[in-house]
A and B are shown apart, each in its own frame.
Chain A
Amino acid sequence: EPEVTQTPSHQVTQMGQEVILRCVPISNHLYFYWYRQILGQKVEFLVSFYNNEISEKSEIFDDQFSVERPDGSNFTLKIRSTKLEDSAMYFCASTKQGTDTEAFFGQGTRLTVV
């Protein structure tokens, strides 16, 4: 069964460092998303990406964040200068056609900023 894969599963980084989280969405899906979940809190939307551009982003997704689809399969989230409060589980998701279709999530990357 097709699935969304994320790497790495866990990343520890020092405050101020850049991190890149990687995702391979389901191959015939057209919409891609990043969400995050701070420990004990709700899953929060960060950004959606369609047709090689950002279609929507949240207030959390400031200039420190960027997304890219560098090739036909990978979808990345970059945090330029990490802060302690960026520590969270980051989830990638994809859908075939945006709304009205099921969203599939990866297993997540646990980011710990020290």
Chain B
Amino acid sequence: NAGVTQTPKFQVLKTGQSMTLQCAQDMNHEYMSWYRQDPGMGLRLIHYSVGAGITDQGEVPNGYNVSRSTTEDFPLRLLSAAPSQTSVYFCASSRWGAIGELFFGEGSRLTVL
């Protein structure tokens, strides 16, 4: 049972480059979300989705785009990377009836130079 799979695990970008962090889950979860984790700041919600075709902004959405064309996939796009986006990114999913019980991917460490 794969759960939530994130790729890549590590990435180094130059300022201004774009990239996509992939997230896939095989649990048929309706709810998916992206967080970033920075030292001393806990997890901050970037974007979330309550089902295919529906996305919404979280606490820190600027500089990131998402889409949800299928139940399984929820990619996070950085359009023009900035050093302030250096962070560890986590994708998470849950059943609609238990949104708080998140299952997290293993994280993607992104460095922007």
Q: Is the A/B pair a real complex?
A: no
